[in-house]
Amino acid sequence: MPEGHTIHRQATELRRGFGGGPVAVSSPQGRFEAGAALLDGRVLAKAEANGKHLFLGFSDEAGHKPQSWLHVHLGLIGSWTFGPLAAGQPPPARGAVRVRLVGENEYADLRGPTVCEVLTTHDVTAVRARLGADPLRKDADHVRAGQRILKSKVPIGALLMQQEVVAGVGNVYRAETLFRARINPWTLGKDLDQGTWDALWADLVLLLKDGVKRGRIVTTLPQDRDRRSGPARREDAHYVYRRTGLPCRICGTLVVTEPMVGRNLYRCVVCQTG
């Protein structure tokens, strides 16, 4: 379920499990053999996420700067799985493993990514330069994103999905943050004001951080859930995302879905008039 929070979580897990030590890199599936050979046996020096992009930096020796990077974008169905290494036993064979990392005590398998390639530090800088403000990064420039949004003739619902504007937000977060702000997703960027953008950004920071902590996306406030106490159940996690035809948690109007730039957009036409 890869929106930005997932990738940041995985970066942390990879850093914790493999950082600072040599990593055996292979491609059981065979589609990344040449790339794997470039990285095999080197030390994982960095693991960081930028929006939905993951960058693993490899160096020749511990403590050195990385010269080669594994760049991964999971796309729609890509995934990482992690597991402990049973002594002397290879990790379980299941599905098409594009990349396998084997460290001292654990392994990580990558399946189904859209992007999986080896880059130089220079290339990594170029990829990152194309990305917009990431709510999960301290170096995020939300003012710059706002300048772009507040003069755009594109609907805010589409702008939030543009990774060169805001990096890490996907279909779930865009639908939910716009509902929480009661904003009509079809409102053009230029028709928003600075205060509205600042509030939207603050909410995205809050939601994505919460997503990293939980490992899943929960956007509802406890008082808006069908069961108002205890942990949020899956069917209680969202206001509008994938709730087509169900009553809005606030006003009871049925949630509608309609395509926006080729993706399903969910909203409440009564609550979201801002």
Residues annotated as catalytic are: 2-3, 52, 263
| Interface residue with DNA, options 19, 57, 170, 185 (CB under 7 A) | 170
Q: How far is the CB of 271 from DNA (least distance, A)?
A: 20
Q: Which of positions 17-56 make contact with DNA (CB under 7 A)?
A: 29, 31, 51-52
| Interface residue with DNA, options 95, 215, 222, 231 (CB under 7 A) | 95
Q: Which of positions 113-152 make contact with DNA (CB under 7 A)?
A: 114-115
Span of 8-16, 61-69, 110-118, 141-149 interacting with DNA by CB under 7 A: 110-118
Q: How many CB atoms lie within 10 A of CB 258?
A: 12
Q: How far is the CB of 80 from DNA (least distance, A)?
A: 10
Span of 150-158, 168-176, 191-199, 221-229 interacting with DNA by CB under 7 A: 168-176
d(CA 98, CA 78): 10
d(CA 178, CA 181): 5
Total residues at the site for DNA (CB under 7 A)?
Answer: 32
Q: How far is the CB of 41 from DNA (least distance, A)?
A: 24
The answer to whether 38 touches 70, Cβ cutoff 8 Å, is no
User: β-strand 99-102 against 24-26: which pairing, if any?
Assistant: antiparallel
Q: How many CB atoms lie within 10 A of CB 262?
A: 7
**Which tokens is 153 given?**
């003739």
d(CA 178, CA 219): 11
3-class SS of residue 29:
coil
Q: How far is the CB of 163 from DNA (least distance, A)?
A: 4
Minimum CB distance to DNA smaller for 56 or for 265: 265
Q: Is 247 in the site for DNA (CB under 7 A)?
A: no
d(CA 54, CA 140): 16
The H or E element that residue 265 is part of is strand 263-267
Amino acid at 119: L
d(CA 207, CA 219): 7
Q: How many CB atoms lie within 10 A of CB 236?
A: 17
Minimum CB distance to DNA smaller for 114 or for 273: 114
Q: Is 96 in the site for DNA (CB under 7 A)?
A: yes
d(CA 221, CA 60): 48
Q: Is 111 in the site for DNA (CB under 7 A)?
A: yes
Q: How far is the CB of 69 from DNA (least distance, A)?
A: 15
The one-character DSSP state at 85 is P
| Interface residue with DNA, options 15, 24, 112, 188 (CB under 7 A) | 112
Q: Which of positions 74-93 make contact with DNA (CB under 7 A)?
A: 75-77, 79, 81
Pattern 202-221, binding to DNA, x per CB under 7 A? ---------------x----
The H or E element that residue 177 is part of is helix 171-180
Contact positions vs DNA (CB under 7 A): 1-3, 29, 31, 51-52, 73, 75-77, 79, 81, 95-96, 98, 111-112, 114-115, 161, 163, 169-172, 217, 234, 242, 262-264
